[in-house]
Chains A and B, each alone.
Chain A
Amino acid sequence: DAKTTQPNSMESNEEEPVHLPCNHSTISGTDYIHWYRQLPSQGPEYVIHGLTSNVNNRMASLAIAEDRKSSTLILHRATLRDAAVYYCIREYGNKLVFGAGTILRVKS
């Protein structure tokens, strides 16, 4: 049981920001939130992770709600290469359990 809820699919225009939402209402205080993505025919790729504070890296930003029941992955300028399945994952124990993810389509 992945214990996260994401929209099945989203669409974005190239060069525009994308906000990918995730609900994790049963999260416990020590569970990290991870985001991975999977491009077609490739293995999952790390995007970002965080616990309580908002996080930024070269790929994306992660905004975590104050109550930690939801988070949003932000791609600041979508490119065609960002078209992928994006997974929001709660880490518990020492494992990541993937859900179905959000299919992101990017239009040129």
Chain B
Amino acid sequence: EPEVTQTPSHQVTQMGQEVILRCVPISNHLYFYWYRQILGQKVEFLVSFYNNEISEKSEIFDDQFSVERPDGSNFTLKIRSTKLEDSAMYFCASRGQGTGELFFGEGSRLTVL
């Protein structure tokens, strides 16, 4: 069964460092998403991406965040200068055209020290 894969599974970084989280969506999917979940809290929408541009973003997704689909297969989330409060599980998801189901990856746990 096709799946969304995310790397790394866990990253520890120092405050102020740049982090890139990588995702390989399902190959024929067209819509891509990043969500995050702070420990013990709900899953929060960050950004959606379609046709090589951001289609929607939340208030959380400020100038410190960016997304890219550099090579037609990977979908990345970059955090320019990490803060302690960026510590969370980050989930990538993808969706095919005209289908309702979002397929989520297993997540990347980011710990900012």
A binds B: yes
Q: Which residues of A contact B (CB under 8 A)?
A: 32, 34, 36, 38, 42-46, 49, 87, 91, 93-101
Q: Determine the distance from Cα of A87 to Cα of B104 in the docked complex, in whole angstroms.
A: 14
Pair B55/A94 contact, Cβ less than 8 Å: yes
Given contacts A34-B100, A44-B91, A91-B100, 18 further A-B pairs with CB under 8 A are A32-B100, A42-B106, A42-B107, A43-B104, A43-B105, A43-B106, A44-B93, A93-B48, A93-B56, A94-B31, A94-B55, A94-B56, A96-B102, A98-B43, A98-B44, A98-B45, A100-B42, A101-B42
Interface size on B, residues (CB 8 A): 21
Given A87-B43, A94-B31, check contact A43 B101 (CB 8 Å): no
B103 at the interface (CB under 8 A from A): yes
Q: Do the beta carbons of A45 and B56 come within 8 Å of each other?
A: no
Is the beta-carbon distance between B42 and A46 smaller than 8 angstroms?
no
For the complex, give the distance between the alpha carbons of A34 and B104 in Å: 14
- Distance A99 CA – B41 CA, assembled complex (angstroms): 10
What are 10 sample pairs from A and B whose C-beta atoms fall under 8 A apart? A44-B104, A46-B101, A46-B102, A46-B103, A87-B43, A94-B56, A95-B45, A97-B45, A98-B43, A100-B42
- In the complex the two chains form, what is the Cα distance from A87 to B43 in whole Å? 10
The answer to whether B33 has its CB under 8 Å from any CB of chain A is: yes
Is there contact, CB below 8 Å, between A49 and B104? Answer: no
- Which residues in B have their C-beta under 8 angstroms from that of A101? 42
> Roughly how many angstroms separate A43 CA and B5 CA in the complex, as a whole number?
11
Please measure, in the bound complex, the distance between the C-alpha atom of A82 and the C-alpha atom of B60, giving whole angstroms.
Answer: 31
* Cα of A78 to Cα of B106 in the assembled complex, Å: 24
Q: Please indicate the chain B residues that have their CB under 8 angstroms from the CB of A32 in the complex.
A: 100
- Contact partner of A95 (CB less than 8 A), chosen from B48, B101, B104, is B48
* Contact present for A94 and B106 (CB under 8 Å): no
